[in-house]
Structure 1
Amino acid sequence: MLNKTNLTILFFIVFVAQLFSLLTENEWVRFITKPLITIVLMLSLVMLNQLYGKFRKRIFIGLIFGLLGDVFLMLPANHPSYFMLGLLSFLIGHLFYISAFNLDIQSSTKKASNVFLISSILLAIFSGAFFLYLRPYLGSMQIPVLIYCFIISLMVMLSIGRWGKVDKSSALFITIGAFFFLISDSLLAYNKFVLPLENSGLYVMSTYMLAQFFIVQGTISRVLLSKEEN
């Protein structure tokens, strides 16, 4: 029987194997372990939560699009269509995460905290500044990257907006996961469009895997502070 501990151990076996494949440039291990990242997390949601409620179902669908994004980005990097399909898959996945987080925000009429408002302003400033920095290097990718910057920033903002609407562990885990996503995508964009980084795959994949892991942990532990379950 797979319990939470066993599923966590299984995930970190995949985590280490994926990083090992990048360090050793072992394509076979990389092609096996990369899809397993989201597959193990989807299995965790099904085994531990039975996908109860709209929130968990939307996170699950987001993981499916994360799996598609992983597969597309594994394909030959010199084919721009694969990168665009990967970008689109993750964009749709983030939209499902946004939709899930918004359920929690709408679960209470409690006024937004000052922390949420301040963090939203800071995130908007960071995303705008980062896009302006990338812009000279983007060429025809300006619009897709601008849209992606907006969506990932909104996802992080809404993860913070859940504070006070759900239990603290869920709020903390999902906020950490969202910030890891922001870091991972920022590293990926810098590496692809500005300057290739040494061991970029290790940094991008480790932060990406932690992002998905913490979002799923926050989903598993989620308890609404209002009476109605979504």
Structure 2
Amino acid sequence: MKTSLLLKTYIGFTLLYLIILFLNLEGFDWYMKPLLLPLLLVAVTVAENFPTKKIILTALTFSWIGDIILLFTDKGELYFIFGLVAFLLSHVIYIVLFSKQQNTRINEKKEIFWLGSLAILAYFFIMIDTLFPKLGALKIPVLVYAVVITTMLFFAFKGSLKWATPANNYILMGAIVFVSSDSILAFNKFYAPITHASFFIMATYCMAQYLIVLGILKLNTKK
């Protein structure tokens, strides 16, 4: 009950934050952003215990640290790098989280696995080919980050073929939207400015975190 209420509170607070962000109401969004993920952290904390609870809490914590660091990117490129590292660690922990979820069925449709894997690989090469000429000194850090988020998406996709429904779909959609958020951020920063980029980045990011949390909680709910 507490978890459900906190998740609904997160949705409401996120919608308010996104409206303020879209309307560009100076300063309010800056103070609201650090309060978003703590709602998900508390929602997971008060949920029933499950084997990977500490892992998802750790992933959310590193994401939250990244959120705070990226608030100061206007003060120097170093803040962007540190924020990148925080989210890199968050994605690595999400990979561990997905790899440790219990499989409840056997994937008999191998063609879906290979088609999905090829699509993920195609995304990786298209993004790198598009961004690489624009990255300058950040080529290696961004390449490493791209490898990690692509791997995170792959583990979510692979798991979705074996996890119980509908939790598997929530997690997979969360991973896809998370990668979309990172892609918008990278495209906006390195390739070409996007109108209302901050809004689209945060809308997809907040949705992604919610879907992953919801999926993991449902996947680990005791029947």
Cα RMSD (Å) of the superposition?
2.0
For residue 46 of structure 2, give the secondary structure of its aligned residue in structure 1: helix
Decide which of 187, 190, 212 is 1:190's aligned counterpart: 187
Task: Tell me the TM-score normalised to structure 1 length.
Answer: 0.88
Task: Tell me the TM-score normalised to structure 2 length.
Answer: 0.91
Per-residue CA distance 1:39-96 (angstroms, 9 max, x = gap): 111111111234x21x222111000000001001111424101100111000000000
Decide which of 95, 100, 105 is 1:98's aligned counterpart: 95
Matched with 1:19 is 18
Indicate if the aligned counterparts of 2:66 and 2:84 stay in contact, CA closer than 8 A.
yes
CA distance in 1, matches of 2:19, 2:104: 44
CA distance in 2, matches of 1:193, 1:76: 14
Deviation at 1:104, TM superposition (A): 2.7
CA distance in 1, matches of 2:3, 2:94: 25
Deviation at 1:164, TM superposition (A): 4.2
Matched with 1:144 is 141
One-letter code aligned to 2:158: G
Following TM superposition, where does structure 1 have runs of at least 4 consecutive aligned residues deviating by more than 6 angstroms?
Answer: none
Matched with 1:179 is 176
CA distance in 1, matches of 2:188, 2:24: 18
Figure out how many residues of one structure are paired with residues of the other and give that number.
220
Deviation at 1:128, TM superposition (A): 1.1
Per-residue CA distance 1:107-134 (angstroms, 9 max, x = gap): 5895683322221111111111211110
CA distance in 1, matches of 2:141, 2:160: 30
Per-residue CA distance 1:191-222 (angstroms, 9 max, x = gap): 00011111011111000000000000001101
Matched with 2:167 is 170
Matched ranges for 1:59-208 at <5 A? 59-104=56-101, 110=106, 113-208=110-205
Indicate if the aligned counterparts of 1:76 and 1:82 stay in contact, CA closer than 8 A.
yes
